[in-house]
Homo-oligomer: A and B are copies of this chain.
Amino acid sequence: MRRRHELCDLLDERRPGYSLPQPFYNDPDIYALDIEGVFNACWLMIGFSVELPKPGNYLAMTIGRTPVVVIRDRAGAIRGFFNSCRHRGAQICQDGTGRAAKLVCPYHQWTYGLDGRLLHAGAMPENFDANDHPLRPIHVEVVAGAIYICLAQTPPDFAPFRRALEPMLAPHGFENAKLAHQYVLVEKANWKLVMENGRECYHCAANHPELGISFPIGISANMSIEDDTRMRGYCQRMAAHGLEVGPTDGSWWQIARFPLNEGMISMSPDGAPLVKKPMLDLDGGDTGSLRFSIEPHNFCHALGDYAFMFSVLPVGPEETHVVAKWLVHEDAVEGVDYDVPSLINTWDMTNRQDRDLAENNQRGVNGLGYLPGPYSPKAEGLVLRFIDWYCERMRAHIGAPSARIAEVA
């Protein structure tokens, strides 16, 4: 393990406004510290409450190297646990979704309730106390149908984010939705390069022709479009529907509603809605997009007709999984009200284009010729915000003093 003072030196070496020194993008020891200091410490967005419709439905996944399971208990609440048996540590639920009355370890059948209590362990001696061996809980928060988890014992304060997101997201009816599609895209790039890519649209004009049809690629860091007249009109129209526009943010989250390009109603090949049964049935679906995002790893877009989730999970210093999910109204019928290829087209094309860019970025950054370069304050404000946040997070993790951070444009 690279010594913490070395990481501290590297953080000090970073020039404000510039990308990170090379080791942050490929060093195995820094990667290990990223897992510790970021993914084991921060809130992460992993999916939607409608993925767990009934008690016993679960969603299992691996964060870094840590298997976790999120499950709806008998009372209907969503709970989370480390997905490792308290006996010999075997993974209890396979990654993916399923339903179980009790959680039974496949190895020696240690059996846990949906609340995590150990109910049965065979062949153990009399002095064995099942109460000492419950599944270890993780923190779970559900906001208007979006599920957030945190593996830390003491998570960052979630309340301000909830207060801001809940009223803005609630009208989108995530609790009356269904998962229409999901996939995992493997990217041979450090998770921070994947995130930097997802935090700016400076690269969109040349690389994302499909996304650029509907997405205002010149949008500012606070999600304001360049045409002030249109922006004002949009705000008035949203206000008339009681929809907050924002923007609002905290150190690790950002929420804003913004209009799409003129005449565009959805992020779709031609700007027209892709789902006949809308999630937010106002103005014919012309409500722009509610973008909500958290550091270190996620953004979502809630449109009138569908919602899209993009969450990054690191799997190695130079490998990252992108988990992509699409929600539609629960009553929308596949093949009648929507079809999956059209529904996912815009973001799927964009994801694959971004994968190629991130992998190419990784190859260049790995070279002796790489020097940290300047971010554009105008076009890369959210990248800078992400990288500054990351540096502060790592300083806090290793107990180093905070740097003064330049104001984000």
Contact = CB atoms under 8 A, between A and B. Distances in A.
A160 interface: no
A368 B82 contact: yes
A202 B123 CA distance: 8
Contacts of A196: 88
Nearest to A197: B107
13 contacts: A40-B368, A64-B368, A66-B366, A66-B367, A67-B369, A82-B368, A88-B196, A88-B361, A107-B357, A108-B206, A122-B376, A124-B376, A136-B369
Nearest to A359: B91
Interface string A98-120: 00000000111100000000000
A206 B64 CA distance: 30
A343 to B, nearest CB: 28
Given A86-B371, A106-B207, 13 more contacts: A40-B368, A66-B368, A66-B369, A83-B369, A84-B370, A89-B373, A106-B206, A107-B203, A107-B207, A109-B206, A122-B202, A128-B374, A136-B369
A366 to B, nearest CB: 4
A275 interface: no
List the 10 closest A-B pairs by CB distance, nearest first. A82-B369, A91-B364, A66-B367, A123-B379, A84-B364, A89-B365, A66-B368, A123-B376, A65-B366, A84-B369
A250 interface: no
Nearest to A82: B369
Interface of A: 19, 40, 62, 64-68, 81-92, 94, 106-109, 122-125, 128, 133, 136, 138, 151, 196, 202-203, 206-207, 357, 360-361, 363-380
A203 to B, nearest CB: 5
Nearest to A371: B86
B107 A373 contact: no
A125 B124 CA distance: 69
Contacts of A202: 108, 122-123
Contacts of A64: 368
Contacts of A380: 123
B151 A368 contact: yes
Copies of this subunit: 3
A364 B19 contact: no
A376 B62 contact: no
Contacts of A108: 202-203, 206
A143 to B, nearest CB: 24
A68 B19 CA distance: 21
Contacts of A370: 82, 84, 89
A67 B367 contact: yes
A31 to B, nearest CB: 14
Nearest to A196: B88
A252 B1 CA distance: 34
Contacts of A369: 66-68, 81-84, 136, 138
A400 to B, nearest CB: 21
B19 A88 contact: yes
B90 A357 contact: yes
Contacts of A67: 363-364, 366-367, 369
B361 A65 contact: no
Nearest to A361: B90
Contacts of A109: 206
Nearest to A137: B369
B89 A374 contact: no
A360 B122 CA distance: 20
Contacts of A133: 373
